[in-house]
């Protein structure tokens, strides 16, 4: 029996006892029993409502990335079909024709060849329509360094359906709108693997532009870990030493990686596993 139900029955019994005739009888017992059941029923309903409010599936690391269909600047997509056998970075921005977002989209476009090398697609999202996106892309290209041409799709999500599906809407509230009447979409980043699983999520405030190099670094870490069976330390970049997971014995580590350095029994470094990554 749950603590909520047990407490409610105790309270109901005390209330019933206080108001019952002092001469015990069948009718008093039945009234007390009915009161207890009524109180318990109310408590169960209240507990069920409270529990239901927390049962919306959360987007957790390792959970499946929800599928959706959307219109983009490159045409309609089914998200899972778009991913295919690639890695994908899905990221949102508050609105078209805003300063921080304009710098971000240009930076991602400039770095896209590096993501391509890693078999990773880029997919942006904004709570604006296709016409707005098309005009905004002209500004992005004008501001981007090196004459970068815009080179990946942006989802048109004016009804904020996908933004809400991926928890990209500020305060979980579709009525929280800006001066243009657009629900405020936060800066979210998701890295999704070819198995359609969420491997990373990051949320940024509207005032802070993201770091494209960090997104690329995390992608390198995830791909290195998946292929070589290692983890990566603080501030790691490709080519630097990696960490042997604690689940791997010393003997197995020596067989797989060759030499390694044990700083602590649980902290062992080995060289960047270039040979394993080439297999």
Cα–Cα separations (whole angstroms), residue 268 to 159, 224, 234, 259: 50, 17, 14, 10
Active site residue ranges: 101
Give residue-wise pLDDT tens across range 23-71. 444 444 445 444 444 444 444 343 333 333 334 557 899 999 999 999 9
Max Cα–Cα distance, the chain, nearest Å = 93
Spatial separation of the C-alpha atoms in residues 9 and 180, rounded to whole Å: 52
| pLDDT, position 197 | 97
pLDDT band at residue 185 under the 50/70/90 scheme: confident
Instruction: Kindly give the residue spans of alpha helices, DSSP state H, lying in 181-271.
Output: 212-228, 250-257
Give residue-wise pLDDT tens across range 158-177. 888 999 899 888 775 666 66
Q: For each of the domains in the chain, give its residue range(s) and CATH number, in order of start.
A: 3-52 (no CATH), 69-210 (3.40.30.10), 229-278 (3.30.1020.10)
Instruction: Name the one residue in this structure whose structure tokens are 């391509």.
Output: 116
User: With contact defined as beta carbons under 8 Å apart, do 185 and 174 qualify?
Assistant: no
Residue 212 in this model has a pLDDT that exceeds 70: yes
If you average pLDDT over every residue of the chain, what do you get?
A: 82
Rounded-to-10 torsion of CA 171, 172, 175, 180: 70
Give residue-wise pLDDT tens across range 128-155. 999 999 999 999 999 887 788 999 999 9
Instruction: Kindly give the residue spans of alpha helices, DSSP state H, lying in 88-211.
Output: 99-117, 130-143, 161-165
Contacting residues for 229 by C-beta, under 8 A, at least 6 apart: 245, 248, 256, 276
146: left (phi over 0), alpha (psi -120 to 50) or beta: left
| pLDDT, position 183 | 65
Helix axes 99-117, 212-228, angle to 10 degrees: 30
Instruction: Name the one residue in this structure whose structure tokens are 């014995």.
Output: 249
264: three-class secondary structure by DSSP: strand
């Amino acid at each position: 029996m749950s603590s909520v139900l047990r407490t409610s029955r105790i309270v109901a019994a005390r209330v019933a006892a206080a108001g019952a005739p002092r001469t015990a009888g069948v009718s008093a017992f039945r009234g007390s029993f009915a009161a207890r059941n009524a109180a318990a029923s109310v408590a169960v309903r209240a507990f069920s409502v409270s529990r239901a409010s927390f049962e919306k599936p959360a987007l957790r690391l390792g959970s499946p990335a929800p599928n959706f269909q959307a219109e983009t600047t490159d045409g309609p997509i089914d998200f899972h079909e778009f991913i295919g056998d690639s890695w994908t970075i899905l990221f949102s921005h508050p609105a078209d024709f805003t300063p921080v977002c304009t710098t971000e989209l240009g930076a991602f476009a400039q770095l896209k060849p590096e993501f391509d090398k890693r078999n990773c697609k880029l997919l942006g999202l904004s709570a604006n329509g296709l016409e707005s996106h098309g005009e905004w892309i002209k500004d992005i290209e004008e501001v981007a360094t090196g004459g970068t041409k815009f080179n990946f799709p942006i989802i048109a999500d004016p009804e904020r359906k996908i933004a809400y599906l991926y928890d990209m809407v500020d305060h979980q509230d579709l009525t929280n709108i800006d001066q243009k009447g657009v629900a405020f979409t936060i800066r979210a980043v998701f890295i999704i693997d070819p198995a359609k699983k969420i491997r990373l999520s990051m949320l940024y405030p509207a005032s802070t532009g993201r770091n494209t190099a960090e997104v690329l670094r995390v992608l390198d870490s995830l791909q290195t870990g998946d292929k070589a069976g290692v983890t990566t330390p603080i501030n790691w970049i490709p080519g630097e030493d990696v960490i042997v997971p604690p689940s791997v014995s010393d003997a197995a580590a020596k067989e797989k990686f060759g030499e390694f350095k044990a700083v602590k029994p649980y902290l062992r470094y080995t060289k960047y596993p270039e040979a394993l990554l080439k297999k």
